[in-house]
A and B are shown apart, each in its own frame.
Chain A
Amino acid sequence: MNKRKPVAAARAKTTTSAPAKRSVSVGDGADAHQQLIASRVRAGLFALFTLLSLAITAGSAGVEGNFAFWVDKVGGTDVAFSVPVVLLWAAVTAGFGAMAALQLVRGASFRWRLAIGLVSPVLVFALLTRLLDGTTANLTVFFTSTLLYTVPVGIGALAGIVSERSGILNISVEGKLLFGAMIGSIASSITGIAIAGPIAGAIFGALVSLFFAWLCIRYRVDQIIAGTVINIGALGVTTFAYLRILQPYSEFNRPIGITPIQIPFLSDIPILGPILFSLSPYFYIAVGFVLFFTYMIYRTRWGLRLRAAGEQPNAAGTVGIDVVKLRYRAMLVAGLLAGFAGSYISLSGTGGFGINTSAGQGFIALAAVIFGAWNPIYAFGAALIFGMTSSATTLLSGLGVLIPPQILLSMPYIVTIIVVAGLIGRVRAPASAGRPYDQG
């Protein structure tokens, strides 16, 4: 009652203004009306960003942004250049301004995701230079670490996409990353074979994933709860194992690292070579996976059935597709991917496995799934944005910029929250993700 009164009062106001608004939405139905509102909210946000960046532009006169590249090979000769920071901020301001205007004019048909994708790299640079305040930043390091940070998030996102397309909401990617990291490190340390790490990590990830699928499908456990159980369980088990086994018997945690490879000829290209073609093989495999699964999901029978199971499992079941088997298989693939991604975390550096070494990258991967609208290529693009944030954090903390390290370290997570909660419009999830399948 009390709650309704103000609404009733407000209604009197909307009555007068309503007809004008309605003339747009009638006939297009509910979706159009809501999208229109969403696009106006976005336009407002973009306008706000425009004003913010304009203020920063005004404050950055005279500051130089200094950059350097390694020309021929990692650690090789430098080539340096500098850009006035004002110029970068002017570009960002222009970009946001254009987005706000276009969003307002074109409404729901404006491709704002693409626009964010275009503006954000410039924004990151503008922010970087502003914070560096004249210190020189090595961009080769920045770019390579961006690409490498993308690996676990990108492959993790792929795992999320495959399982959610089949109809199982998979928040357990984080747990599988952790398990994959630990098992990968142990397998590599025991066998002394580098490739044993990723393989063991992938297999263990698949086992965990099948257990998760078994809970969800056979026992119809709520998928969010089952996923949370896996995540908490993974943290507990791996931490325990680390403290009781890996730390006292450190020979189990001295993996053979997977070292970067130099791709013949291509790695000799000046500037680009050291950035793109001298990376860990994991990166190239990740790109290969993304292309492969994009093809599989959209162009093959497997993908058609996978999507049908995730959208309308009954439609698939009644034409004779075994939805249960299909979901188990999809979860097997998702587990292999997530475990493989986890092994990267402990095998790419020198440290081996550490407590909570995945540090929430599995959750960031899920954010990338949503931002990428369940499309592997878009999700990988989203993972790149997160990778760039992480890389920028590392760069800034390495150069001793005067920002509290806690704030710097939380940057990737803050970006995740903004992306998922604030800017997301209406992304369409697979309709049946999260719901158990009932035959008949």
Chain B
Amino acid sequence: MRLELQKITKQFPGVLANDRISISVDKGQVLGLLGENGAGKTTLMNILSGLYKPDSGKILIDGKERIFRDPAQAIDAGIGMVHQHFMLVPVFDVTESVVLGNEPTKGPLGSFDRATARAQVAELSKRHGLHVDPDAKIESLPVGVRQRVEILKALYRKSDILVLDEPSAVLTPQETEELFEIIRGLARGGTSVIFITHKLNEVIAVADKITVLRRGAVAGETIPKKATAAKLAEMMVGREVQLTVSRSKSKVAEPILQVKGLNVLNDAGGLAVNSATFDVRSGEILAVAGVQGNGQTELVEALTGLRLVDSGTVVLEKKPLHAGSPREIAMAGVAHIPEDRNRDGMVKGMTIAENYILNTYHLPQFNKNGLLNRKAIAAATEQAVKDFDIRTPSISTDIASLSGGNQQKVIVAREFSRNVRLVIAAQPTRGLDVGSIEYIHRRIVEQRDAGAAVLIVSTELDEVLALGDRVAVMYEGRIVGILDAKEATRERVGLLMGGITK
């Protein structure tokens, strides 16, 4: 079926999320919808799936206008969504998850006809080459398989238009390649596919046609043959972008951080980090790769004193840190850019100046007999705003009102305001626009060049490969490999991310 969106507009309080967006996809075509966070992709898809109503504009299927009042009507019209955050019930099995909402029934009470449902799901997964055990419980399946269940859900509803929202965010490169195979197969069978992503290489690899969104509007359209990553990035951001960080060779010296046999428990009491041993040397960036949820969060929390170390040692320049409080660790020269800046990075509702001194307010230069030295704080913050190019009306502005990129700059400025021996940056660029990503990367590399040791944790393989002088890969709590930048190819790191050490 041919799907056409004409001049879709959607206004939220204070934001024009979609501004007269027109896109189309033909039968059997794969449309790559490219855009940064906040470009309006998700809003557009929520309109298409019936969750939001557009303020104006039309949805046409095979030339006929359709109006979706709720998700059920969008499903009836043949639109199948695979959401970025999977919409599955963990305690259900595959059969139940696939048929939920369109269950075969029998008898006067509406008894669930499991046998029929199971047979249908088995047949469907065989026909499309999506191998899934219909009796497996969702919570026991790896994310890659869960995604297949999501696709089966759409196929079960006879969707002719399949929409995938950031489908590769939780996959290893190999799983992503498998997903592409599935998408190509479906397209050959006549399904139209809309593939939403912010990853340039992926659209080039899988799409037949590429539409780029920027700030809620269509910024351009092209085909993969004519497109290059640089061109697409330019369309996406609106100016020329440097895709790779330029950096000199690192001058590696003595180890600064030494971690030995580190075990850390997660909230449920299970082993999240399993005998991690590594060191980070002065003047190098060690990038930790891995699919989300493989112990990276707990590793960073343990290193920064936010989580108790179960056993093992962490030594920073001969000073043991594994029993240190967050303040002791920070004062010892560790800068921490936390994974979730909203939760651990700043206090919303407090000003930029207050956030800037969050972990230095107790030092004599800001504090006399328990009273804050407003003048000194203001002067230091003003300087940081200038140095880090933080776009804000004033230093007494609530940090919540800044853009994500500027919030992150405040955090980076604060962490780099002390004597820095080790930088621990977890997902330092998550959710930021390309311009801010560039800036943050540059600042981190500067710290390295100044002789600090840098530990970056990222689930974005591109970020890991761009920044890491060495790349460590975490899988199920273990460091399954540490590679030099030269050996760290996408392929090898990808295999390690899937736990394959050969």
Residues of A within 8 A of B (CB): 1, 4, 7-8, 11, 14-15, 18, 22, 25-26, 29-34, 37, 295-296, 299-305, 307-308, 311-312, 314-322, 428, 431, 439-440
Contact of A312 among B46, B89, B111, B153 (CB under 8 A): B89
Shortest Cβ distance from residue A108 to the other chain B in the assembled complex, whole angstroms: 13
- List, in ascending order, chain A residues with CB within 8 A of B92's CB: 307-308, 311
Q: Which chain A residues lie closer than 8 Å to B49 at the CB level? A: 318
Q: Is the CB of B71 within 8 A of A317?
A: yes
A321 with B271: CB separation less than 8 A: no
Q: Is B100 an interface residue (CB 8 A)?
A: yes
| B72, B90, B97, B269: most-surrounded residue (chain A CB, <10 A) | B269
Q: Which residues of A contact B76 (CB under 8 A)?
A: 320
Determine the chain B residues whose CB is within 8 A of the CB of A4 once the complex forms. 323, 325
State the majority secondary structure of interface residues on A.
helix
**Would you list 29 pairs from A and B whose C-beta atoms are within 8 A, ordered by A residue?**
A4-B325, A11-B308, A11-B323, A14-B311, A18-B311, A22-B271, A25-B271, A30-B267, A30-B271, A30-B272, A32-B270, A33-B269, A34-B270, A303-B112, A304-B103, A307-B89, A311-B92, A312-B88, A315-B88, A315-B97, A316-B101, A317-B71, A318-B49, A318-B83, A319-B75, A319-B101, A320-B71, A320-B75, A440-B51
> Pick the contact of B100 from A11, A299, A316 — CB < 8 Å?
A316
Q: Does B13 count as interface, using CB distance less than 8 angstroms? A: no
Cα–Cα, bound, A300→B106 (Å): 9
Interface residues as binary, B76-87 with A (CB distance below 8 Å gives 1, 0 otherwise): 100001010001
- Minimum distance in angstroms from A318 CB to a CB of chain B: 5
Kindly list chain B residues whose C-beta atoms are within 8 Å of the C-beta of A312: 87-90
Let me know if B105 is at the binding interface, CB within 8 A: yes
CB of B278 within 8 Å of the partner chain = no
Given contacts A22-B271, A32-B270, A321-B100, contact A11 B310 (CB under 8 A): yes
A417 to B308, CA, bound (A): 32
Which of A1, A25, A318, A321 lies at the interface centre, i.e. has the most chain B CB atoms within 10 A of its CB?
Answer: A318
* Given A14-B310, A18-B263: A320 in contact with B72 (beta carbons within 8 A): yes
Top 8 closest A-B pairs, CB basis?
A30-B270, A320-B72, A319-B101, A30-B268, A8-B323, A440-B51, A315-B87, A15-B311
For A428, give the chain B residue with the smallest CB separation: B91
B309 at the interface (CB under 8 A from A): yes
Set of chain A residues within 8 Å of B266, measured between Cβ atoms: 30
Flag if B269 contacts A30 (CB, 8 Å): yes
A320 touching B70 in the complex, CB below 8 Å, given contacts A33-B270, A305-B100: yes
Shortest Cβ gap from A23 to chain B (Å): 11
Interface of B is mostly: loop
Contact A25 B309 (CB under 8 A): no
- Tell me which residues across on chain B come within 8 A of A318, comparing CB atoms: 49, 51, 71, 81, 83, 87
- Select which of A7, A26, A295, A319 is within 8 A of B71 by beta carbon: A319
Query: B479: shortest Cβ distance to chain A, in Å?
Result: 15
In Å, the complex CA distance between A34 and B71 comes to 40
Query: In whole angstroms, how far apart are the Cα atoms of A31 and B52 in the complex?
Result: 38
Map CB proximity to A onto B135-152 as digits: 1 under 8 Å, 0 otherwise.
000000000000000000
Contact residue among A301, A314, A317, A440 (Cβ-Cβ distance under 8 Å from B52)? A440
CB nearest to B49 among chain A residues? A318
Contact of B274 among A26, A311, A428, A440 (CB under 8 A): A26
**Cα distance A270–B51 when bound, in Å?**
64
Inter-chain CA distance A11–B52, complex, in Å, is 52
Query: Is B370 in the interface zone, CB < 8 Å from A?
Result: no
- Name the distance in Å between A110's Cβ and chain B's nearest Cβ: 19
Q: Does B160 contact A (CB under 8 A)?
A: no
Chain A residue numbers with a CB within 8 Å of B90 are 311-312, 431
A25 proximity list for chain B (CB < 8 A)? 270-271
| Cα separation A26 to B478 with both chains bound (whole Å) | 11
List, in ascending order, chain B residues with CB within 8 A of A314's CB.
87
B102 within 8 A of A: yes
Instruction: Give the distance in Å from the alpha carbon of A435 to the alpha carbon of B273 in the complex.
Output: 31
A113–B87 CA distance with the chains assembled, in angstroms: 33
Contact B323 A300 (CB under 8 A): no
Task: Kindly provide the distance from the CB of B474 to the nearest chain A CB, expressed in whole angstroms.
Answer: 15
Given contacts A25-B270, A301-B103, A319-B101, contact A311 B91 (CB under 8 A): yes
**When chains A and B are docked, how far (Å) is the Cα of A440 from the Cα of B70?**
11
Q: Mark B423-436, 1 if CB is under 8 A from A, else 0.
A: 00000000000000
Which A residues are in CB contact (< 8 Å) with B88?
312, 315
Contacts of A303 in B (CB 8 A): 112
Question: Quick one: which of B70, B73, B112 has the most chain A CB within 10 A?
Answer: B112
Complex: A14 Cα to B51 Cα, angstroms: 52
Residues from chain B with Cβ under 8 Å of A1 in the complex: 325, 327
Interface check B63, CB cutoff 8 A: no
In the assembled complex, B363 has its CB within 8 A of some CB on chain A: no
- Complex Cα distance, B83 from A4, in Å, reads 42
A315, B70: Cα distance in complex, Å = 14
